[in-house]
Structures are given as C-alpha cells and as structure tokens.
Structure 1
Amino acid sequence: MTIYVGIDDTGNSESVGTGKFARIIAGEISKKYPVYGVTRHQFYVHPDINFSLHNFGAVIHVDTEEEYVDNIFESVKEVMQDNFNNGSNPGLAVAHESCISPAVVAYGKDAKETVIISKRAWNLALNSNIQLESIGGNGSGVIGAVAGLGLAYAGNDGRFLQIGRIRKLKGPQPVEKLIGAGIDGIFTPDGRPITKGIIFNEGDKPVKPCPVNGEVILFVYEENGIFKAVTRD
C-alpha cells in the first residue's frame, strides 16, 4: 500500500528547488516509514500560470498503511513551514492510494495541458479525502500538489528523482550496475532492450529513469556506438 506526498512551488531563484527539497523531505520521512522513491512531474507552462521556476511538482512514494496519512501530512507540513521561501507559493497534498480516484488522475493529466484554478484543487481534495494545505504565498501550489498525486498513482508520467541507489552512481556506468541499483530495464525509444555496455549521462549526474507500467525504465539513445541516457519530462 502506498501513501503519496505531493509538493509544488516550494522554491525561488535562491533556494534548493522543489526537486531537491522533495528528496530532503523523503529523507525525513524515511526515518519512520519506508520510502519507495521520489518522482518529478512537469505541468503546463503558460503565461496565465503563476509559478516560481519551471512549473513542476514532486511526489514522494511512501510504502505504508493508510492510518499514517495524518502523521505524515503533519510532519511534512512542519518541514515546509520551517523552510518557506519568500516568493514561493507552496502546496502540500497527501493521500493514500485508495483515495486517488479516476477524477484525481484526470485532473493530473489536465494539469499538463490546461490552465487550472486552485478552487478546483480544493474541491477535488474535499471530495476525494485528500489532505491539502497551502503553506504560504498565494496558495497556487495546491494545484500541482494534487495533480502530482494523480500522475504518480497512474504511472507512466515524469521521471524518478530518487529510486534505489541510482543517485550514488554518477558518470558512465555499466548496464549491469544500473540494473542492480534499482532500474528494471534499459531501452532505446524504439523499444530495443539494452542488456550490456556502458551508459553515459550528461556531466557527473545520476541517470533519471522513468516510471513505466509499474517498472523503473531508463531510456537511452545510441550515438556513434555510445549509449547516452535520455532525460524525459
């Protein structure tokens, strides 16, 4: 069973950003509950949408029972309040998987291609038993916080910011080592499985696999006989 913790719009130009902040929160949660991973979900970019930097949200996947939703919500809320950044509009949404209905999934998909007002997020949270909180600013972060829950639950969206031991592997890595660190499979975009060789990634950063049908998949492309990791939104 999984509890999803969605956060959005937590940073400003001088802060660590939502992605890194989500990993910090995941570290705090993991002191009491098992954390499966952290995913990043890109939302619609439009002039009518007020966002701090890149308009993406992050979701922490916690493998625990529904009875701990309130405890996790309160502990994450406290961390976010203690680390509020001026100019940001943080939102926090927490729900057990049983509360993520088709309406929540559809809302998440809408957030990738349309402008959504915060009232819709509040109404959806109320009707779906989702714990929702505006931590500060104008409160617009609740839109992405709820959307992230639907996208993370449905799968096949975004990429992992944290999964297994992937973040410890930086620079070129053999396929076997990546598979052993938490990736389930490596494929080219046209579906060719890659079972051996070295995978290169930009700079000294860890690769960023994607959730695909319940599996952790890394996509790569071949260039002059070299496999390079693909970064997907």
Structure 2
Amino acid sequence: MTLYLGIDDTDTRESRGTGRLARTIAAELARSYTVTGVTRHQLFVHPAIPYTSHNSSAVIHIREAENRAAADVFATAKELMLADFIEGSDPGICVAADQDIGTDLCLFGFSAKKTVVTQEQARSLARQAGIRLEGLGGTEDGVIGALAGIGLAASGNDGRFVQKGTTRDLRGNQTIAAILASGVDRVETRGGAAVSDGIVSLRKFPKPACVGGEAVLFVEADGDAYRDIVIG
C-alpha cells in the first residue's frame, strides 16, 4: 500500500518554498516509514487563484503496509507544518491511502490543472472518500492543492520527482548508470526511445517525470552526450 501526503500553500514570496518543507517532512517521516519520493504537481495559473509563484503542490509518497499509519503520518506532518507556519500563507494538508483514492479524486486533480476549483468541492470529495483533509491557517485555500496533489500523484501520470532516492546528490555530467542507481527507473528520449548508456549533462539534479507510476528522466541528444529535459 502507498500513502500519499499532500501539502500546499505553505509559503510566501519571501519564505522557503513548499517543496523544501515537503522534503523536511519527508526526512522526518523516513525515520519511521519508507518514503519513496516527493513529487511536485503544477496546478492552474489564473488571476482568480491566489498563489505564491507557480501554484504547485507537493506530495510525499510513503510505502506502508498498514492503513492505521495514515493517522500518525498526518499528525507528524501537521505538527511540523504548524511549527513552521509562515504568516500570510494558507496551508492545507491531506493524507490518503491509494485504495481510498478513486476516479473522482484523480479527476479533481486534473481539473485543478486547467480550471478554477473550490474549497467546497475539495472538502466535499474528501468527506465522501473518508480522507483526512485540513486547513492549517489563513484562508485555508491550501486544502484545494493538497487534495488535488494526492489525486494527481495517485494517477501515476503527473508531476515530477523533486526527491527520489539519492537524485539530489547528482550534479554536472553523470553516467546513465549513476542516474539509474540514484533512484530513477528509466531514462528515455521524448520520443520514447530507451537510453541505457552515455553521459547526461544535468541542469541541476535529475528531476524525473512520473509516468506510469515510475520515475522517468527524459533527455535529448547534445553532441556526443545528452542533456536532461524537465517535464511535469
């Protein structure tokens, strides 16, 4: 079983970002659980939607055999978020097991990428599914992105990993073998051709897209080597 912990709207333009907070929470949860990655999910950018910079949410992926872990994961993350509350932010938090995330929640996530959705919609869907969803301050608009994030993550086909294994340790020119060893599942061209050998010039660190539930790093030819493409 996989637990998905979604957070959103935890920052301001002057503060640390939601992604950094998600990685801090992931590090704490990793003391007790198997954290398999942190993904970023891009949501709709529109004048009617308040957001800090890019309107994205973050989801922590946790492999856990027992559903009762959801309560502890939620409580741990909530405590860390409240301890690091940024004045002016509107944070939301959500946790759900993969078996509790149905088609309706996935569709809500994809709707949140292209239309304006509401707190009322998010809270109603969470109640119907029996999912823990809570606002932790401000307007609590972060509940929208938190719920949308877990729907998108559970779909297995959205977003990109901003933490997966030891990917954040890689910089500069790296072999395909090193990239795969760090936690990336596959390296491919945008045309879908597998790349199993060679050197990749990284823009920063590998940020593989989530495709079919796997971490796929897309690359393009660059002379005799490759360079990574950030997708998702």
TM-score by shorter chain over 0.5: yes
Q: Is the 8 A contact 1:117 1:143 kept in 2?
A: yes
Residue 169 (structure 1) shift? 1.2
Residue 66 (structure 1) shift? 0.7
Residue 143 (str. 1) matches residue 144 (str. 2): yes
Residue 199 (structure 1) shift? 0.4
Tell me the residue number matched to 1:48. 48
Read off the aligned partner of 1:39 and give its amino acid letter. Answer: T
Residue 215 (structure 1) shift? 1.9
Q: Is the 8 A contact 1:93 1:145 kept in 2?
A: yes
Q: Is the 8 A contact 1:199 1:226 kept in 2?
A: yes
What is the alpha-carbon root mean square deviation over aligned residues?
Answer: 1.0
State the distance in 2 between where 1:28 and 1:14 align.
Answer: 24
Residue 141 (structure 1) shift? 0.5
Map 1:142-221 to 2 at 5 A.
142-202=143-203, 205-221=204-220
Residues 124-170 of structure 1, C-alpha deviation per residue, up to 9 Å, x if partnerless? 11001110110111111000000001110111111001111111111
State the distance in 1 between where 2:224 and 2:14 align.
Answer: 40
Tell me the residue number matched to 2:5. 5
State the distance in 1 between where 2:166 and 2:13 align.
Answer: 29
Report the TM-score, using the length of structure 1 for normalisation: 0.96
State the distance in 2 between where 1:224 and 1:63 align.
Answer: 40
State the distance in 2 between where 1:223 and 1:33 align.
Answer: 40
Map 1:43-122 to 2 at 5 A.
43-64=43-64, 65-122=66-123
Tell me the residue number matched to 1:126. 127
State the distance in 2 between where 1:40 and 1:180 align.
Answer: 22
- Kindly, what percent of the aligned residue pairs are identical? 43
Q: Is the 8 A contact 1:40 1:56 kept in 2?
A: yes
Residue 214 (structure 1) shift? 2.3
Residues 85-137 of structure 1, C-alpha deviation per residue, up to 9 Å, x if partnerless? 11211100011111101100100010000001111001011001110110111
State the distance in 2 between where 1:100 and 1:191 align.
Answer: 29
The structure 1 segments of at least 4 consecutive aligned residues displaced by more than 4 Å after TM superposition are: none
State the distance in 1 between where 2:11 and 2:191 align.
Answer: 36
Residues 7-51 of structure 1, C-alpha deviation per residue, up to 9 Å, x if partnerless? 001111222201111001000111111111111000000000111
State the distance in 2 between where 1:62 and 1:189 align.
Answer: 28
Read off the aligned partner of 1:50 and give its amino acid letter. Answer: P
Structure 2 spans left out of the alignment, 5+ residues: none
Q: Is the 8 A contact 1:52 1:87 kept in 2?
A: no
Structure 1 spans left out of the alignment, 5+ residues: none
Read off the aligned partner of 2:137 and give its amino acid letter. Answer: G
Residue 179 (structure 1) shift? 0.9
State the distance in 2 between where 1:136 and 1:194 align.
Answer: 46
Read off the aligned partner of 1:228 and give its amino acid letter. Answer: R
Residue 207 (structure 1) shift? 1.1
Q: Is the 8 A contact 2:156 2:214 kept in 1?
A: no
Tell me the residue number matched to 2:19. 19
2:68 aligned counterpart, secondary structure: helix
Number of residues of Structure 1 aligned to a counterpart in Structure 2: 231
